[in-house]
Amino acid sequence: MKRRTLMLGGLALTTPLLAGSPAGAAPAAAPSTATGPAGGPLTNLAHLDFLRQAVAPPAQDGHTTYRLAESPEVGMLWTYAEPGPDGNLRRVGGGAYDAATDTWGQGAYNADDVSRAAVVYLRHWAQTGAAGSRDASRELLRGLTYLQTTTGPHAGNVVLWAQPDGTLNPSAEPVELPDPSDSGPSYWLARTVWALGEGYAAWRTADAGFAGFLRQRLDLAVGALERQVLSRYGTYQTVDGERTPAWLIADGADATAEAVLGLAAYVRAGGGSAARRALRRFAEGVAALAGGDARHWPFGAVRPWALSRSMWHGWGSQMPAALAAAARVLGDRRLLDPAVADSATFTPWLLTSGGPDNGRIPTPVDRSQIAYGVDSRLQSLLAVADATGRGGFDQLAGVVAAWYFGANAAGVPAYDPATGRTIDGISGDGAVNRNSGAESTIHGLLSMLALDARPQVAEAARQGRIVERVGTRVVEAEQGTRDGGAAVVTPPSSWTGESSISGGSLVRMPAGSTMRWELPPSTQPELVLPVVDLTPGASAVTRWAGVAGDGRELTLGQVRHGQAGAQGTSPAPGVLLPVTPSGPGELPAGVTALVATAAGDGAVVDAVMLEPLLSRFVVAGDGHATAVLRSAARTPRTATVTLPGAGRAVVEAYDSAGVRRSRTVVSGAAVPAAVLPGGFTVVRR
């Protein structure tokens, strides 16, 4: 249920408070297999079915749904599932549980998950024709629209939480914004639009009456977005000197992207002019947060939050998928270009540097990974592949999806096709959260549906073992040797309001001070990216150099610490960013020390990111192996990859737009692979 409301180090707090609940149980078992039944589908809806609940809500002003009088029960979905005292999974809500009233501080069910579960059943129905999924989608859409407010000044908005008996809880504890939850635009309103858009597209030929109701409710939601968000269309806000769109839902490209997915489906199915206009405007806002290239942060990504230049997170990162969908429906190639850059330049960097972490803000301070993040990357790659016809994105999608089958920090399957459960997450050190709540289950199943529809991608995904990863190295500033008054500063909190301080400390460098880091030698050149606090008007300049074995200094370039603009609507003064130095910026192979010297006053250094000019990620399993190579070099380069297995290897090189430029077939264990500037190469055996 990730959303940017309650913040801890930049990440939403979504962990349930453990408490008993008489909500039913199912045997708990850890995911135990990386493959489904031989020749059978990966998608198994059993656990999602277990989380569903039929509820007859009491009469509540401003809330009703389709034919409520004739069918008083609507579909809801329990939020979490965790092992009980007997070892079986039990369904639980969010917040503290009060047994006397059978209520939760937040609630049992929430619109975030009800909406996305409806999308699972809608897609499963479309893909398989299953009547059970058709019926489940209908009941969940009825439950979702019951949560939507239909009258008053907030008409079209959505109440987030409901208690076990269906009583709405507009003001949950802990507090989430907006409060009350239907008092403004929100992530759950965006996800409601997603579900209603796909719902209308699926039901318009199956049940005209129900489809008409869904259209009415979607138009009501679009009206709320026009009133509260799109009224700012064409206006911009200043964020640390950068102009960012002011018409994104909750200031988020992540939230807005999920609304765009629904609007694209709706418009494709015949939605009206208001929806088409909203689709175009929201897509334009999402596209405006794209930036960087292979050598400059954020490396071609579409950033998720308009108020931070420093943040990227895996969860909810469906911006490329949304832009690809909008581009196809609207016939606007300009919307596709940033989606292509995110897929061809950023995603290979992400894979080689650790995968879809919960927090790159800007260094990887939260290396936890969850299904929501993996699925968001998978869906984006597949959508861009479909929109462009470029097969390299399908190949990357297979490598991303291998996370579910063991290519993760824990080395264990994250999804179990025998039960339909997806674990709730894997930390950077490999610790596994064996709970299987709604969000993880939903996004695991959305991924499995996508893999079932694409057997070749599914085959690649079964490579569930990480063989090698050569990518970003992060060196903390405080690990260096300080001289000339350079001092470690440790703020009370590492979270600044828009970014997170790597390692919890920074180094302040007055004029004339130096820092020196001893480095293990690299076998190839590395791009040096100091992570510094940029402050408007600061006179500080840091000069960076490598130190060769004979003591010679090799100039890398300099960083001007005053190259930030006005704070504007940014939550914090200054901006913590990886900065590409002027000059060559590349640390030669074999260099074992890095030196920074400060001139002027006010230099603050958090860390240094060292980017190999050629990074790689290698996975293997099920008799195959695949390597993804990514280039930050200015010129074409060749790397030699040792790929497990026997037989010939296929080497395909793609440029920065994902266009295949060469294909070779090579024999032998050591495979030479050409990698183009800013592009990626896939080697398969």
Q: Is the dihedral of CA 565, 567, 573, 578 positive or negative?
A: negative
Residue-wise burial string across 544-562, b where 16 or more C-beta atoms lie within 10 A, e elsewhere: bbbbeeeeeebebbbbbbb
Give dist(CA 551, CA 286) in Å, integer. Answer: 48
- Residue-wise DSSP of 280-299: HHHHHHHHTTB--BTTBTTT
Residue-wise burial string across 147-158, b where 16 or more C-beta atoms lie within 10 A, e elsewhere: bbbbeeebbbbb
- pLDDT band at residue 39 using 50, 70 and 90 as cut-offs: confident
> Are the C-beta atoms of residues 629 and 470 closer than 8 Å to each other?
no
The model's pLDDT over 174-216, given as tens digits with 9 standing for 90+, comes to 999 999 999 999 999 999 999 999 999 999 999 999 999 999 9
Q: Is 423 exposed, middle or buried (0-12, 13-18, 19+ CB in 10 A)?
A: buried
- pLDDT band at residue 25 using 50, 70 and 90 as cut-offs: low
The model's pLDDT over 340-359, given as tens digits with 9 standing for 90+, comes to 999 999 999 999 999 999 99
> Are the C-beta atoms of residues 653 and 344 closer than 8 Å to each other?
no
Q: Which residue ranges does the chain devote to CATH 1.50.10.10?
A: 7-462
- pLDDT band at residue 22 using 50, 70 and 90 as cut-offs: very low
Quick check: 15 pLDDT over 90? no
Tally the C-alpha atoms within 13 A of residue 62's C-alpha that lie toward its C-beta. Answer: 16
Model pLDDT, residue 629: 99
The model's pLDDT over 631-669, given as tens digits with 9 standing for 90+, comes to 999 999 999 999 999 899 999 999 999 999 999 999 999
Which of the pair, 94 or 87, is modelled with greater confidence?
94
Report the mean per-residue pLDDT for the chain: 95
Q: What is the mean pLDDT of residues 548-570?
A: 95
Q: Which residue ranges does the chain devote to CATH 2.60.120.260?
A: 473-612
The model's pLDDT over 448-493, given as tens digits with 9 standing for 90+, comes to 999 999 999 999 999 999 999 999 999 999 999 999 999 999 999 9
Percent of the chain, pLDDT > 90?
A: 92
Model pLDDT, residue 638: 98
Quick check: 37 pLDDT over 60? no
* Residue 604 dihedral angles phi and psi, to the nearest 5°: -130, 125
Q: Containing H/E element for 617?
A: strand 614-621
Model pLDDT, residue 31: 38
Give dist(CA 84, CA 666) in Å, integer. Answer: 53
Single-letter residue type at 145: T
Model pLDDT, residue 21: 40
Quick check: 1 pLDDT over 90? no
- pLDDT band at residue 84 using 50, 70 and 90 as cut-offs: confident
User: In CATH, what is the architecture of 473-612?
Assistant: Sandwich (2.60)
Q: Is 405 helix (H, G, I), strand (E, B) or coil?
A: helix
Give dist(CA 325, CA 339) in Å, integer. Answer: 10
Q: What is the mean pLDDT of residues 208-228?
A: 99
Single-letter residue type at 209: G
Model pLDDT, residue 12: 35
The model's pLDDT over 55-80, given as tens digits with 9 standing for 90+, comes to 999 999 999 999 999 999 999 999 99
Model pLDDT, residue 87: 85
Q: What is the mean pLDDT of residues 2-18?
A: 40
Q: Taking CA 635 as the corner, what is the angle to CA 583 and CA 516, rounded to the nearest 5 degrees?
A: 35
Q: What is the mean pLDDT of residues 158-187?
A: 98
Q: Is 369 helix (H, G, I), strand (E, B) or coil?
A: strand
CA nearest to 321, candidates 119, 474, 461, 142: 119
Give dist(CA 407, CA 461) in Å, integer. Answer: 9
* Residue 236 dihedral angles phi and psi, to the nearest 5°: -130, 155
CATH number of 7-462: 1.50.10.10
